[in-house]
């Protein structure tokens, strides 16, 4: 049985796979989305990206595994039509993404962006910045999408004394950091009471544009919006307008509509915004976690057990 690996792994992690599965023929053609690998007789593909042309040329392909949580960059319709099993890296990125979100909140509450900008310009801004500082303890965080990332963020926020409200398509009993749940139909009312709103959703037809201009307008002028999912979850122009008009206090966007962000994009100059350039999930532990997940699933695949982290390609999650 052949496994084609195009995802870049640390050498030690690749060696671990080779040693753990001597009966499997691994073919390694690494490179995140680059090149045009030969499908050969690969039954399993471990990749960051794959296009429809590759799948069409891979008659033996039965299972695709991606280390990312999101799968909206894949040819999902074709994967569904072929009946190819699809698994993702759900659970591998909760720690770094939630830590990035918390870092954004702490940066806003302490005025760090202003102090960092002032240092570069050698300006004394304490009289303006210090009075605007605030405490996160006692404030309300609304987490929209309480999966592995949202749950990790909820636990961390609760740990520093925030009140956490969870909103999800499916209530997760494992989200032990959530104080109170609201249904999707109650989202608008929850937005009006939140000090911080964090989007931790996958991008699907149901979630695309979930934070449009109307919902952003429901937020308090002292509230902050964070997008940790995909850029298309929010109306980016509406976010910029809300920031410029003082309708919301700030925004922390890990993902944007265009990546890389064009130099002339107005989001660069929007006030009180933090842009982390889709790096929230980056961690030196990623390769090890992705390898561990794939190794567990490969063992299951070889022994006929159900795969973990299965994604319904028609649903997108």
- The β-bridge partners of 196 are 141, 224
- State pLDDT tens for residues 271-293: 999 999 999 999 999 999 999 99
Q: What is the C-alpha to C-alpha distance for residues 142 and 179, in angstroms, rounded to an integer?
A: 10
Q: Which CATH number does 94-275 carry?
A: 3.40.50.720
In this predicted structure, the answer to whether residue 174 has a pLDDT above a threshold of 90 is no
Q: Where are the domains of the chain?
A: 2-92+284-303, 94-275
Task: Kindly state the percentage of the chain with pLDDT values over 70.
Answer: 97
CATH of domain 2-92+284-303: 3.40.50.720
Kindly give, in sequence order, each residue whose CB lies less than 8 Å from that of residue 45, ignoring residues fewer than 6 positions away.
3, 4, 6, 58, 61, 63, 64, 65
pLDDT tens sequence across 83-124: 999 999 999 999 999 999 999 999 999 999 999 999 999 999
In the numeric block, the tokens 């671990």 are attached to: 16
- pTM equals 0.93
Distance CA 207, CA 219 (A): 18
Peptide bond into 260 cis (omega under 30): yes
Q: Which residues are catalytic?
A: 230, 259, 278
What would the mean pLDDT of 28-37 be, rounded to a whole number?
Answer: 68
pLDDT at 31 over 90: no
Contacts of 312 (CB under 8 A, 6+ apart): none
Residue 285 in 3-state DSSP?
A: coil
Do 2-92+284-303 and 94-275 share a fold? yes
């Amino acid at each position: 049985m052949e496994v084609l690996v195009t995802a870049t792994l640390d050498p030690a992690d690749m060696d671990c796979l080779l040693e753990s599965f001597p009966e499997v023929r691994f073919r390694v053609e690494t490179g995140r989305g680059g090149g045009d690998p030969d499908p050969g007789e690969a039954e399993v593909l471990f990749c960051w990206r794959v296009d429809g042309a590759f799948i069409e040329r891979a008659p033996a392909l039965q299972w695709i595994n991606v280390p990312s949580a999101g799968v909206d960059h894949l040819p999902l319709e074709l994967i569904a039509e072929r009946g190819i099993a699809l698994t993702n890296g759900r659970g591998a990125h909760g720690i770094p993404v939630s830590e990035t979100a918390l870092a954004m909140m702490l940066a806003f509450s302490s005025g760090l962006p202003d102090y960092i900008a002032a240092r570069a310009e050698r300006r004394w801004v304490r009289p303006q910045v210090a009075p605007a500082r605030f405490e996160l303890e006692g404030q309300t965080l609304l987490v929209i999408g309480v999966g592995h990332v949202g749950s990790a963020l909820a636990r961390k926020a609760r740990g520093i004394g925030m009140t956490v409200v969870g909103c999800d398509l499916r209530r997760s009993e494992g989200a032990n950091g959530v104080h109170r749940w609201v249904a999707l139909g109650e989202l608008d009312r929850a937005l009006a009471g939140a000090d911080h709103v964090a989007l931790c959703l996958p991008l699907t037809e149901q979630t695309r544009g979930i934070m449009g201009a109307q919902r952003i307008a429901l937020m308090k002028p002292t509230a902050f919006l964070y997008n940790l999912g995909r850029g298309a979850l929010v109306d980016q122009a509406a976010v910029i307008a809300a920031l410029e008009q003082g309708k919301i206090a700030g925004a922390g966007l890990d993902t944007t509509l265009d990546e890389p962000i064009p130099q002339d994009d107005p989001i660069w100059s929007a006030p009180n915004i933090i842009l982390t350039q889709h790096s929230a999930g980056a961690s030196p532990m990623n390769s090890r976690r992705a390898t561990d997940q794939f190794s567990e699933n490969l063992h299951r695949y070889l022994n006929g057990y159900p795969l973990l982290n299965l994604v319904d390609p028609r649903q997108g999650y």
